[in-house]
A and B are shown apart, each in its own frame.
Chain A
Amino acid sequence: DGGITQSPKYLFRKEGQNVTLSCEQNLNHDAMYWYRQDPGQGLRLIYYSQIVNDFQKGDIAEGYSVSREKKESFPLTVTSAQKNPTAFYLCASSIVSNEQYFGPGTRLTVT
């Protein structure tokens, strides 16, 4: 089955620790995206990548980092510098225009 996988579904960390969220796609899509969703709110773009080995900051990149070493993978690291990291994180990918397909999301809780 083609699709986007995110793991794990739930993630718990202590404050001050970095944590990496996984996103993998087998759709052969060139572009990948990371969004953050807070309760009752829309999606905000963290980082995006249109091609391997290249990525750009979105609207709320501070405290996050990404890499794009392979077309299929776009991991997101939430660093200790992110002041309010508890949120629902969504990964997406696209091939043409803007039509994006989303993974199931990872809920990160930092205490």
Chain B
Amino acid sequence: GEDVEQSLFLSVREGDSSVINCTYTDSSSTYLYWYKQEPGAGLQLLTYIFSNMDMKQDQRLTVLLNKKDKHLSLRIADTQTGDSAIYFCALGAAGNKLTFGGGTRVLVKP
């Protein structure tokens, strides 16, 4: 089955850019997603990219997709303390299912 990997932790200074990375094994997904989870809460859909795109920008968020290397990234510009959370990448699979990475915990330091 699909294997989706993320680094566990990222620390960044307020105002800097954050880059969260995700690698995967199966290239058949049509949609690739980024979700945000704040402590004790559900997951919030941040953005997504179609597999036929290389980049998508949405305000402070930029998603980059390198299909050759099977690498997905989320860049958050001008990171704020409210961006501290766990970020999950997720790949669309058959039957409307999603395969999630293990999540990257982002800590924004003032």
B interface residues, Cβ below 8 angstroms from A = 30-31, 33, 35, 40-45, 48, 88, 90, 92-93, 95-98, 100-103
Contact = CB atoms under 8 A, between A and B. Distances in A.
A31 to B, nearest CB: 5
A100 B30 CA distance: 14
A94 B96 CA distance: 8
Chain A interface size range: 20 to 34
Contact of B42 (A31, A56, A97, A103): A103
A50 B96 contact: yes
Interface residues of A: mostly helix, strand, loop or mixed? strand
A6 B42 CA distance: 10
A50 B97 CA distance: 10
Interface of A: 4, 6, 31, 33, 41-43, 45, 48, 50, 56, 58, 90, 92, 94, 97-105, 107
Which of the listed residues B30, B43, B44 has the most CB atoms from chain A within 10 Å of its own CB?
B43
Contacts of A107: 40
Given A99-B33, A102-B45, A103-B42, 16 more contacts: A6-B42, A33-B97, A41-B102, A42-B100, A43-B100, A45-B97, A48-B97, A56-B95, A58-B97, A92-B43, A98-B93, A98-B96, A98-B97, A99-B48, A102-B43, A105-B42
